[in-house]
Copies of this chain bind each other. A is one copy, B any other.
């Protein structure tokens, strides 16, 4: 049929391939990194899905395409993708670009290996250990364990599974069948991954007991204590408390020391979801927000958020020194983790994971850390706080901007009240009308491509904006722009 070429002719032509990669790299540089970070260019190029599908010609076919066509595709993908490194992208808890990290990510992709054995990942087994050690040191732990996981949600799941295993080691072989009902405690403003984890691990979302928060969104330790006692009195077995350092929406920090007291009293595993807020540990000025962090059993921390390490980069950190991680997750597969290897098989870290293939997520963080030093991270965190402060001060001076409250962190949450609604707070339909403002402004900004910022409701608070200002690219004039732009987009509503 002519399909099968000679067996002596490889199917890959390296020279041709490398030429293509070179050309693609140039396009990436130009479209994503130059234009994509240029404040004079759009942050997004909105298309309706039907139109975009046509433009991209996504269909997969029998025959391949020539290089020039493929390079055009690279360009198109770049063109219609969101420029998350653009200074006006503040839609999520990641933004901006760090070129050292990006170099580390390209290197990771080119090396294409798995972090499971020393045999296939000698550099990264040692490097991951060192990066985890560095992160643990910020917590104040001189010993411990850990692992990079594919995202904070999975890091939280790991913590929950470890806590369960520590309490009931037989759960690994016997499952939950026959065990009493287990209860998890977390605040009403914690990340939804706690519930997802409870469902996935077979514990059930009803067994996630919601603890009340104060007016700024911080867990109330007394309520935690009461809820634990209540659960016990109802026959459930509390085993896990997930507190949050830097809640997703309001950026609240749960009072760790007081929660640790409650956990100690009831002998519960204390987990801190510091996916978002963990990076304050680099700041002498702000690390007090996590006072008591060293008393936790586990901490989840995402350098892909505030530290701009690039997706994905999430560390699960453990105080444990008893090899719990391995005991809990190992399957001892003899085809991968042979015990008769010629080197120390403790270097084969893969069996600590519930994954088999595991991406190398440490190199990008390591290279960036080497580049800027801890001091560089301190600077980034402190600067983010300063920007948030500046933004808040400006909003206070401007009519129509209503802060939810003074921010504890860099999440600046506010309503924009258009002129037509000002002074009408008493109207019966005020909240309904206010709820509709943010979605319209959002639609306009996306369609015009001028900025991207998130909004959401929270409890009985109707839709408000959350600006997260931490990209190392930002300067004060960007803050001024954000405020002006929201006003421009919403003035007529």
- Contacting pair B154 A355 (CB below 8 A): yes
User: How many Å from the CB of A88 to the closest CB on chain B?
Assistant: 13
- Contacting pair B356 A8 (CB below 8 A): no
Closest Cβ neighbor of A457 among chain B residues: B334
Instruction: Answer yes or no: A218 CB below 8 A from chain B CBs.
Output: no
| One of B33, B49, B85, B123 near A52 (C-beta < 8 A) | B123
| One of B49, B97, B122, B356 near A151 (C-beta < 8 A) | B356
Instruction: Answer yes or no: A188 CB below 8 A from chain B CBs.
Output: no
- Contacting pair B474 A64 (CB below 8 A): no
Residues of B within 8 A of A248 (CB): 335
What number of copies of this chain does the assembly contain? Answer: 2
Residues of B within 8 A of A195 (CB): 331
User: How many Å from the CB of A77 to the closest CB on chain B?
Assistant: 6
- Contacting pair B113 A311 (CB below 8 A): yes
Restricting to A405-420, which residues have a CB under 8 Å from any CB of B?
A: none
**What does the 1/0 interface line of A442-476 toward B look like (CB < 8 Å)?**
11001000001011111000010010000011111
| One of B356, B369, B463 near A152 (C-beta < 8 A) | B356
| One of B112, B369, B383 near A84 (C-beta < 8 A) | B112
- Contacting pair B192 A181 (CB below 8 A): no
Residues of B within 8 A of A70 (CB): 100, 367, 370-371
Known A-B contacts A24-B106, A204-B172, A457-B334; the reply to A122 vs B81 at CB < 8 A is: yes
| One of B34, B80, B122, B134 near A47 (C-beta < 8 A) | B122
Residues of B within 8 A of A29 (CB): 18, 21-22
A333 and B458 CA atoms in complex are apart in Å by 10
Closest Cβ neighbor of A380 among chain B residues: B11
| One of B20, B59, B249, B304 near A335 (C-beta < 8 A) | B249
A201 and B56 CA atoms in complex are apart in Å by 39
A478 and B179 CA atoms in complex are apart in Å by 55
**What does the 1/0 interface line of A121-146 toward B look like (CB < 8 Å)?**
11111110011001000000000000
Residues of B within 8 A of A63 (CB): 373, 375
Nearest first, the 4 closest Cβ-Cβ pairs linking A and B are A175-B204, A202-B202, A17-B99, A24-B103
Instruction: Answer yes or no: A403 CB below 8 A from chain B CBs.
Output: no
**What does the 1/0 interface line of A28-56 toward B look like (CB < 8 Å)?**
11001110110000001011110011001
- Contacting pair B121 A58 (CB below 8 A): no
Instruction: Answer yes or no: A177 CB below 8 A from chain B CBs.
Output: yes
- Contacting pair A383 B7 (CB below 8 A): yes
- Contacting pair A102 B21 (CB below 8 A): yes
A379 and B7 CA atoms in complex are apart in Å by 11
Residue with the greatest number of chain B CB neighbours at <10 A, chosen from A120, A195, A435, A472: A120
Residues of B within 8 A of A22 (CB): 29
| One of B61, B92, B120, B122 near A91 (C-beta < 8 A) | B120
Interface size class of A (residues with CB under 8 A): 35 or more
- Contacting pair B65 A342 (CB below 8 A): no
Known A-B contacts A311-B113, A457-B334, A475-B7; the reply to A65 vs B370 at CB < 8 A is: yes
From A219-227, A254-262, A357-365, the one touching the partner chain is: A357-365
| One of B109, B122, B311 near A112 (C-beta < 8 A) | B311
Known A-B contacts A34-B18, A122-B49, A174-B206; the reply to A340 vs B439 at CB < 8 A is: yes
Residues of B within 8 A of A206 (CB): 173-175
- Contacting pair B122 A52 (CB below 8 A): yes
User: How many Å from the CB of A27 to the closest CB on chain B?
Assistant: 8
Residues of B within 8 A of A452 (CB): 119-120
Instruction: Answer yes or no: A62 CB below 8 A from chain B CBs.
Output: yes
- Contacting pair A347 B103 (CB below 8 A): no
Residues of B within 8 A of A380 (CB): 11
A263 and B158 CA atoms in complex are apart in Å by 32
- Contacting pair A367 B74 (CB below 8 A): yes
Instruction: Answer yes or no: A191 CB below 8 A from chain B CBs.
Output: yes
| One of B18, B64, B103, B472 near A10 (C-beta < 8 A) | B472
